[in-house]
Structure 1
Amino acid sequence: MTATPARARLDLLWGRGARFLGAPTAIMGGAMTWVSERHLVSAISNAGGFGVLACGAMPPDRLAGEIAATKALTDKPFGVNLINMHPDLDRLIDVCREQGIGHVVIAGGLPSGAAIRRIKDGGAKAMAFAPALVAAKRLVRHGIDALIIEGSEAGGHIGPVATSVLAQEILPEVREVPVFVAGGIGRGDAILSCLEAGAAGVQLGTRFVCSTESIAHPNFKQAFLRAAARDAQPSVQIDPRFPVIPVRAIVNEGTKRFMETQRALIDQVDRGELTREAAQLEIEHYWSGALRRAVIDGDVENGSLMAGQSVGLVTREQPTAGIIAELIEQAETALVRRWAAYPSAAPPAAVGAA
């Protein structure tokens, strides 16, 4: 079947990213702990996207089992996301090599040159997140094969800079490797904008949480379906003496108690009843296991509802293939509308179609 002019243009725009991923499109699935497991990852890859398995805190043997289980559900390429601070990072990289994984994404900090070399020596392409232009250039010097730039609109652990600003800072300056844009992307129109700005592709996480293949608890999905963009807020640091890594999540009772807990602990320190170190440890441990409680157990009041601001665009549960098809249709429609408004910018076949 011949592609429409709009689809041909879209394929051209994300051609570099699609070739890099080995997928029909350059739509990556964001690696979400407890959510991006075998079922969702395989569904994204089977639908023409590129699924990415979230290793999180898994030990090497468990990761090997999850990779094997994912392979049993798809014969399409998919990647694995590893956390830079994981104590067994080298062994996890080796597991990816042993399992024939073609793309390894390092998150949670900048990977060392040694880690990048270990990934590449194992035959995989190395990808990493660049929070600023200086970091992007450093990663390129160390041999990274592709970059992901993720703005503060994203869910989970976030940086301070918006996607739109990161894109302006990095996309014009980094052409040596493909750059994928993430954070707050929930429609095909936005995907088109990223591609036209120079991105090789995009990464979406929040949009896939309510797919039918996602194993997230029904309560977790309902929280997403009810939420508006403004409900996904970053965690707040009350006192600079007690740093809190910002995490964007839907506000719930657990969020409110986190604020109260910080205040109570800081008061204890100020009264000399608790050491600063002990208080910091309690603050850091507050959310321990909270994501699993929400995603798997369905405790959406006390667990962590990590979500990006695009959660307001998640309006129903639908198959992953339907989500990807919808994103593509929205991007194509945006192109057709533009060509209708500015016929001189359209290819000849598109003018007639419009």
Structure 2
Amino acid sequence: MWSKASVRADAEVRTAQADVESRRQIVKTRITELLGIKYPILQGGMAWVAECHLAAAVSNAGGFGIIGAASAPPEVVKEQIRETRKLTDKPFGVNVMLMNPNAAQVAQIVVEEGVKAVTTGAGNPAQFMPLWKEAGVKVIPVVASVAMAKLMERAGADAVVAEGMESGGHIGSATTMTLVPQVVDAVSIPVIAAGGIGDGRGFAAAFMLGAEGVQMGTRFCVAKEAITHEKYKERIIRAKDIDSEVTGMSHGHPIRCIRNQMTREYVRLEKEGAGLEELEQLTLGSLRKAVMEGDVTGGTVMAGQIAGLIHKEQTCEEIIQEIMTDGSRLLGVEK
């Protein structure tokens, strides 16, 4: 017969095993299962930044790399997909900007090239949902409100990225801290947190809010594998907590970037009541100038508020391992 001591010891072993398994589940979430990745970290689909080298490096490091299609011609997107596949045998995706006049062609290329998943922004992807779902493509729209998250779930989305206004580039009005838990409560599909996440603390906080993964953009902008101009990277690394600026509030299309000569001129014109056409002329091609040419004075240096927390250039492997190590420790789980 079993003694009370042996029964108690056996129960303690089972409890310990259950605890270990529970810890492992934090890394193995519905997002890692959905995308077939090791760690629940996605790289943002940043225009001019998110190309084959960065996407492949993130995927090779255990995350989910994403090619930013932005407004690129369809043939360029196809080339980027094929180049990424030469650099990694891991899953990766494409971010489809729905305002792109070529969005329909890009949507078709995603299917033809056998891309694992897409994230979408700047619109409703419902028109492409039947095409993608039939081909087995996982669809993950980026949302900035509970209403949009619910709409995307009804349309057949596999997950959503709840992106707070702390993020770089085009932003909504809700913060990550307030948006993520409300979206988690409103939908049954997995939620990925984005906006203001740049280290293990942000990763842990996102999970405490109910997210099952995180998406980061600004942190990967300074990755060694990113083609971002060194001056762009340096500007992010040198950024302070108060260096963030939002332009475009006057016409309902706010964009977060790092304050410079261009943003000051833009804000001045907005206050003076300048029209959309005049403002667009000021920023025409400005993101490309900053990312590719290093014009961090007259170009648009898109970056999130988390830029002030980023102090060095690292490989994607180093970034992801650092975040997973610190985040797992804070959550009390195994990496």
TM-score normalised by L of structure 2:
0.89
What is the DSSP-based 3-state SS (H/G/I as helix, E as strand, rest coil) of the residue aligned with 1:164? helix
Counterpart of 1:253 in structure 2 is: 261
Correspondence list, 1:57-206, <5 A: 57-111=71-125, 113-175=126-188, 177-206=189-218
Render the CA deviation track for 1:213-236: whole Å, top value 9, x for unaligned. Answer: 111111101101100122122115
The CA RMSD over aligned residues, in Å, is: 2.0
Counterpart of 2:300 in structure 1 is: 304
Q: Which runs of no fewer than 5 residues in structure 1 stay unpaired? A: 267-278, 337-345
> How far is the alpha carbon of 1:244 from its aligned partner?
4.7
Aligned equivalents of 1:286, 1:8: Cα separation in 2: 55
Choose which of 40, 45, 48 in structure 1 pairs with 2:62.
48
Aligned equivalents of 2:186, 2:211: Cα separation in 1: 11
Choose which of 309, 312, 318 in structure 1 pairs with 2:314.
318
Render the CA deviation track for 1:143-198: whole Å, top value 9, x for unaligned. Answer: 111111000000000001100110121112212x1111100001112212222332
Q: Is the 8 A contact 1:17 1:200 kept in 2?
A: yes
Counterpart of 2:11 in structure 1 is: none
Render the CA deviation track for 1:29-48: whole Å, top value 9, x for unaligned. Answer: 01111111111110000000
Q: Does residue 283 of the first structure (1) align with residue 279 of the second (2)?
A: yes
Aligned equivalents of 2:194, 2:187: Cα separation in 1: 16
Aligned equivalents of 1:54, 1:282: Cα separation in 2: 27
Q: Is the 8 A contact 1:6 1:332 kept in 2?
A: no
Q: Which amino acid aligns with 1:29?
A: Q
Aligned equivalents of 1:11, 1:104: Cα separation in 2: 26
Distance change in 2, residues 1:330/1:6 (3 Å):
farther
Distance change in 2, residues 1:211/1:9 (3 Å):
farther
Q: Which amino acid aligns with 2:217?
A: G
Render the CA deviation track for 1:83-127: whole Å, top value 9, x for unaligned. Answer: 11111222111101111101011111222x222122212221111
Q: Is the 8 A contact 1:244 1:284 kept in 2?
A: no
Paired residues, number: 317
Q: Is the 8 A contact 1:110 1:129 kept in 2?
A: no
Q: Does residue 19 of the first structure (1) align with residue 27 of the second (2)?
A: no
Stretch deviating more after TM superposition (185-194 or 71-80) = 185-194
Q: Which amino acid aligns with 1:103?
A: A
> How far is the alpha carbon of 1:265 from its aligned partner?
6.3
Distance change in 2, residues 1:262/1:6 (3 Å):
farther
Choose which of 222, 242, 255 in structure 1 pairs with 2:234.
222
Distance change in 2, residues 1:8/1:331 (3 Å):
farther
Aligned equivalents of 2:214, 2:20: Cα separation in 1: 16
Q: Which amino acid aligns with 2:133?
A: K
Distance change in 2, residues 1:156/1:69 (3 Å):
same
Aligned equivalents of 2:56, 2:23: Cα separation in 1: 23
Aligned equivalents of 2:194, 2:313: Cα separation in 1: 22
